[in-house]
Structure 1
Amino acid sequence: MRSNPIRFRTYRLQLVLRLLLLSASLYGLAWVGFNPDYRSTFLGLFIFILLQIGLLVHFHERTNRLFLRFLNAIKYDDFTEQFHISGEGNTMRELSLRLNEVMKKFREVRAEKEAHLQYFEVIVQHIGIGIITFKPDGSILLLNNAARKLLQVGQLRQVQELETVSPQLALGLQQLGNDDKVLVPVRQGAEQANLSVHVIELSLLGERVRMASLQNIQSELEEKEMEAWHNLIKVLTHEIMNSVTPIASLSASAYEEVSSFTDTDAEEVTLLREELEDIGQCLQTISRRSDGLIYFVNDFRNLTTLSVPKLSRFNVTELLQEIKMLLRGQLAARQISLQLEVPKEALLLSADRAMVEQVLINLVKNATEAVQEQPDGKVTVRAYLDERSRISIEIQDNGHGMTPEAMAKIFIPFFTTKKSGSGIGLSLSRQIMRLHKGAISVQSELGKGTTFILRF
């Protein structure tokens, strides 16, 4: 800040001297009066007095200008401003010192807030739950990395742009009320996902802001679904076995008794031989069907009796080649070609080889049944590393494909699209993949075939 070239030790001394000089000038002006002989002197003193008054006002307003600079610095967030006053006495020096301390404190507080903001931004960007904050008009304020990954999108400006990903999601984000939740299905490439969406409303500087959390709970839903099916199957198999086993035993015993009667010529046998033979055949049929039902129930028990995988490291390419060799006769008999597309480098997978082989054989057999009516039936098996460096295996056929309704139910136990099938093969395959912390998904379109994808 500029100061008078003639600097005095104190602000008060400068003020007193200025007032004394002004008083003397006024006294001289009054003494000269309007004497024509001293007109030039009178004019000079008058101008000098006006100049002194202006300098006195300027001198007195320096403190105001100092505070004005301070307030403007705060207003425009310019905390680099420094106040240097010298030669104005202890009071002004103390004032400038305190103002500089306040500016330093502002700089420290702003630096601390920026550090905290950066810290929380890093946390928000690295948490596993997707976060979207947006205004009521749909303008997106924040879209963290987890949300981009879940939705497979880049930078977005409006919530409405999510309609290309899921119209249900875009509509739900705008219509959900405070603390509302909804389950939204979305498609992530070849995989189906279910997102749990939770919306809350916040007030940010007096403006209403909505925050939505997105979490993929597909694995949890599948786990709960399989747990429910396991419990149901346990109850059903237990009740069926308790009911069917005695029937099978009694029908077998009754058949033996009837057979012994038909072999004798005793006159006390009152029923005709033909009727006894019919009853025997009925009992034999009941016994045979009961045994078939017991076998059927035991087959379903496989869904609930899977053991823990025995992990070993093996080459996926070698396993696929062995499966092709194993099914070569069946494929040749049906005139179906099986092609392997594998990379040159070895794909080493750590898993239960027997379980993975069971899944692959089941999927390849399903594919061959899907193309057996095609004149040029073809099944293609691919092994590769996906974008996340996960070992993936695709089983693709050129059959008739499936409807969206069938795809949604294909992994449910007892559901099958085949004329003859138990409906447990794909359910068993999904259970095996879950035991390996992997996933199985399906892509299909009517008239274009079906592709099952295993990701480990």
Structure 2
Amino acid sequence: MSFKNFRLQLILRLALLVLSIYLLAWIGFNPTYRSTFIGLALLVLLQVWLLIRFNERTNKLVLRFLNSINYDDFTEQFHVGGEGKTQRELAKRLNEVMEKFRQVRAEKEAHLHYFEVIVQHIGIGIITYRPDGSILLLNNAAKKLLRVGQLQQVQQLEEVSPELAVGLQQLDNGDKALVPVRQGVEQANLAVHVIELSLLGDRIRLASLQNIQSELEDKEMEAWHNLIKVLTHEIMNSVTPIASLSASAHEEIESYTDTEAEEVTLLREELEDIGQCLHTIHRRSDGLIRFVQDFRNLTTISLPQVGRFDVRELLKEIKTLMREQFSHDHVKLQIEVPPDSLLLAADRSMIEQVLINLVKNALEAVREKKEGVVILRAYHDERSRISLQVADNGYGMTQEAASKIFIPFFTTKKTGSGIGLSLSRQIMRLHKGTISVQSEIGKGTTFTLRF
């Protein structure tokens, strides 16, 4: 017989058990009823065992609930149609608690996914790691910035930048540092900020990485512009009257040396020497004025007039333009471009000016080599950006010279003014692009323009 009322079942079971015990006691140990006594004894034991099992159903129900929580298994469902109102209410409440747990976990997972998406899509690199160096999180911006895949330890960053690997481990909570990182042929400066958090009793370090190379270059160029404006202003104020006076004096002496008047008291030879000196002063003053005007060009570059053009045609025109000079110096000029056309959105005349300047520099670098070669190359880099390269097999330059090559006034050539590369970098900055150099002594130099 099956009863749905838990209390009624319990009362009947107890009543039946009491009745069985009573009969067992009434019969006693009478030998005549020995088999009946044994049967009743077994029946009592069976009823006790069934009563225990019946009572343990509630315990098993609660135990299933606790195991589900312990193992984070919130898919468990409890049968509501149990034995009686109390059992049904218990199962119903347990199902409601399980549903609440499912909602809380779903909300938690949604929030976690939301914050993971934010962390992975922000432009600032983020690394979270333990004090022992084990990495917990490396977002996409950090991977892109450092050009690495998934890393397990901070020490693995030594291949990218030893300074960064050491800095992440040695910086204290709240410290900031400027760390240089080499990105292929490009040099970048990362602003690193480290903070320390406590998560469930564990110490977690969070480091933000931001490439401020562009901001540093902007500030550097702004500082050079201000310096150039001051220098050119002061030099022009001093040189212009000197040039004017020397020219006037030279003309006066020329008029005296052309006359045969007796009142000329100085010897003609002395007048000619003075005139020659004044002429030299005038000529050098004009040269200095032109020199200053060249520096002024650094601060007066107009905004680029952007248009789309075929890179292949541009490189061919530069090769045609430079053909005579390369032929005269017995240097080979090669062009390497992909078979498909590359359309670049930029100011064609400005980019042509930059490339011609780089090609001339490369020509001078290989002029004295027996088999000098200059290569003009166009391609898509790993980020699908159009890149142009001017490479030579010259004698190269030191790392110190390469780090200063874009500074105004700095030059490695005996007759250079140090303006061309500074002007080229400024033109690339106006195009939201970059120019970088990679050089090795004895192997040559490569300049790369990225748009």
Alignment-derived partner of residue 355 in structure 2: 360
Alignment-derived partner of residue 85 in structure 2: 90
Alignment-derived partner of residue 290 in structure 1: 285
Question: Of the candidates 164, 174, 177, which is equivalent to residue 179 of structure 1?
Answer: 174
The CA distance in 1 between the partners of 2:334 and 2:128, in whole Å, is: 49
Residue 297 (structure 2) pairs with residue 321 (structure 1): no
Alpha-carbon spacing, 1:25–1:343, altered in 2? closer, same or farther (3 Å): closer
Aligned-pair CA distance for 1:274: 4.8
Size of the aligned set, in residue pairs, is 451
Aligned partner of residue 184 in structure 1, secondary structure: strand
The CA distance in 2 between the partners of 1:112 and 1:340, in whole Å, is: 59
Task: Give TM-score scaled by structure 2 length.
Answer: 0.93
Residue 132 (structure 2) pairs with residue 143 (structure 1): no
Percentage identity across paired residues of the two chains: 76
Alignment-derived partner of residue 341 in structure 1: 336
The CA distance in 1 between the partners of 2:300 and 2:43, in whole Å, is: 110
Aligned-pair CA distance for 1:353: 1.6
Residue 55 (structure 2) pairs with residue 60 (structure 1): yes
2:10 counterpart letter in structure 1: L
The CA distance in 2 between the partners of 1:350 and 1:40, in whole Å, is: 108
Aligned-pair CA distance for 1:450: 0.9
Aligned partner of residue 204 in structure 2, secondary structure: strand
The CA distance in 2 between the partners of 1:223 and 1:67, in whole Å, is: 68
Residue 96 (structure 2) pairs with residue 124 (structure 1): no
Question: Of the candidates 213, 219, 228, which is equivalent to residue 223 of structure 2?
Answer: 228
Q: 2:336·2:377 contact (CA, 8 Å) conserved in 1?
A: yes
Aligned-pair CA distance for 1:60: 2.7
The CA distance in 2 between the partners of 1:415 and 1:212, in whole Å, is: 36
Aligned-pair CA distance for 1:273: 5.2
The CA distance in 1 between the partners of 2:368 and 2:186, in whole Å, is: 28
Task: Give TM-score scaled by structure 1 length.
Answer: 0.92
Alpha-carbon spacing, 1:57–1:107, altered in 2? closer, same or farther (3 Å): same
2:416 counterpart letter in structure 1: G
Aligned partner of residue 442 in structure 1, secondary structure: strand
Residue 299 (structure 2) pairs with residue 299 (structure 1): no
Q: 1:362·1:425 contact (CA, 8 Å) conserved in 2?
A: yes
Aligned partner of residue 233 in structure 1, secondary structure: helix
Deviates more, 1:147-156 or 1:90-99: 147-156
The CA distance in 2 between the partners of 1:36 and 1:383, in whole Å, is: 114
1:45 counterpart letter in structure 2: L
Deviations 1:362-388 (A, max 9, x none): 111111111111122221212223233
Residue 157 (structure 2) pairs with residue 162 (structure 1): yes
The CA distance in 2 between the partners of 1:352 and 1:301, in whole Å, is: 21
Aligned partner of residue 137 in structure 2, secondary structure: strand
Aligned partner of residue 275 in structure 2, secondary structure: helix
Q: 2:80·2:89 contact (CA, 8 Å) conserved in 1?
A: no
Deviates more, 1:166-175 or 1:311-320: 311-320
Alignment-derived partner of residue 439 in structure 1: 434
Residue 383 (structure 2) pairs with residue 421 (structure 1): no
The CA distance in 2 between the partners of 1:391 and 1:86, in whole Å, is: 70
Aligned-pair CA distance for 1:266: 7.0
Aligned-pair CA distance for 1:258: 4.4
Q: 1:73·1:79 contact (CA, 8 Å) conserved in 2?
A: yes
Q: 1:7·1:87 contact (CA, 8 Å) conserved in 2?
A: no
2:175 counterpart letter in structure 1: D
Alpha-carbon spacing, 1:380–1:87, altered in 2? closer, same or farther (3 Å): closer
Alpha-carbon spacing, 1:367–1:9, altered in 2? closer, same or farther (3 Å): closer
Question: Of the candidates 63, 76, 79, which is equivalent to residue 81 of structure 1?
Answer: 76
Residue 102 (structure 2) pairs with residue 107 (structure 1): yes
Aligned-pair CA distance for 1:41: 3.9
Q: 2:388·2:450 contact (CA, 8 Å) conserved in 1?
A: yes
Q: 1:309·1:351 contact (CA, 8 Å) conserved in 2?
A: yes
Aligned-pair CA distance for 1:204: 2.2
Q: 2:174·2:193 contact (CA, 8 Å) conserved in 1?
A: yes
Deviates more, 1:293-302 or 1:191-200: 191-200
Question: Of the candidates 375, 380, 384, which is equivalent to residue 380 of structure 1?
Answer: 375
Alignment-derived partner of residue 365 in structure 2: 370
Alignment-derived partner of residue 206 in structure 1: 201
Aligned-pair CA distance for 1:37: 4.2
Deviations 1:94-148 (A, max 9, x none): 1111101111111122122222222222222222222222121111112222222
The CA distance in 2 between the partners of 1:347 and 1:22, in whole Å, is: 96
Q: 1:8·1:87 contact (CA, 8 Å) conserved in 2?
A: no
The CA distance in 2 between the partners of 1:343 and 1:52, in whole Å, is: 91
The residue correspondences of 1:242-321 to structure 2 (distance < 5 A) are 242-260=237-255, 274-321=269-316
The CA distance in 1 between the partners of 2:367 and 2:249, in whole Å, is: 44
Alpha-carbon spacing, 1:209–1:254, altered in 2? closer, same or farther (3 Å): same
Q: 1:185·1:192 contact (CA, 8 Å) conserved in 2?
A: yes
Q: 1:379·1:397 contact (CA, 8 Å) conserved in 2?
A: yes
The CA distance in 2 between the partners of 1:377 and 1:84, in whole Å, is: 87
Alpha-carbon spacing, 1:178–1:26, altered in 2? closer, same or farther (3 Å): same
Q: Which runs of 5+ in 1 are unaligned?
A: 1-5
The CA distance in 2 between the partners of 1:87 and 1:183, in whole Å, is: 69
Aligned partner of residue 452 in structure 1, secondary structure: strand
Q: 2:334·2:375 contact (CA, 8 Å) conserved in 1?
A: yes
1:71 counterpart letter in structure 2: L
1:336 counterpart letter in structure 2: V
The CA distance in 2 between the partners of 1:274 and 1:125, in whole Å, is: 83
